[in-house]
Amino acid sequence: MADREIGVRKPDAATTFAADDELFDTRIQCIDCSKDFVWTVGEQAFYRDKKLENPPKRCKDCKKAKNERLAAIENAQRSGVKQRIEVKVSCARCSEATTVPFYPSQGRPVYCRSCFLELNPSILNGNGNGNHAA
């Protein structure tokens, strides 16, 4: 191994981290509103300082909205008030747009109120006579 030089590096391989002046504004598409926003040099430097590896996914507005949403849920949980949720879905039977007060689990059909009552007539009749005991 006579031809191997120990401790000597090629000068162009030595710069593994970028200096501030090598950063430039980056355009990112917001995952919430699909609009482009600018990830500025200053913010990139901040991310690097904090050792954050993933660039932001949301624009400022959506990030703020998300934080407010989380804060509202947190406040509601702290105060013991149940958060009323409304999830937009389309009925699995008639495709009508409707809202349900829960997050439907994947693969489970969700029905609008009228379809739900049609499929579950016992809820309307309400007489538990035990005729249909399984």
Residues that bind Zn ion (CB under 5 A): 30, 32-33, 59, 62, 91, 93-94, 96, 112, 115
- In this complex, which beta carbon is closest to Zn ion, that of residue 48 or of residue 93? 93
- In this complex, which beta carbon is closest to Zn ion, that of residue 32 or of residue 86? 32
The span from the CA of 99 to the CA of 26, in Å, is 38
- In this complex, which beta carbon is closest to Zn ion, that of residue 114 or of residue 122? 114
Reduce the secondary structure of the chain to three states and give it as a string.
CCCCCCCCCCHHHCCCCCCHHHCCCEEEECCCCCCEEEECHHHHHHHHHCCCCCCCCCCHHHHHHHHHHHHHHHHHHHHCCCCCCCEEEECCCCCCEEEECCCCCCCCCCCCHHHHHHHCHHHHHCCCCCCCCC
CB of 47 to Zn ion, least distance (A): 18
CB of 118 to Zn ion, least distance (A): 8
CB of 29 to Zn ion, least distance (A): 9
The span from the CA of 60 to the CA of 43, in Å, is 12
CB of 25 to Zn ion, least distance (A): 17
- In this complex, which beta carbon is closest to Zn ion, that of residue 77 or of residue 120? 120
- In this complex, which beta carbon is closest to Zn ion, that of residue 44 or of residue 59? 59
CB of 91 to Zn ion, least distance (A): 3
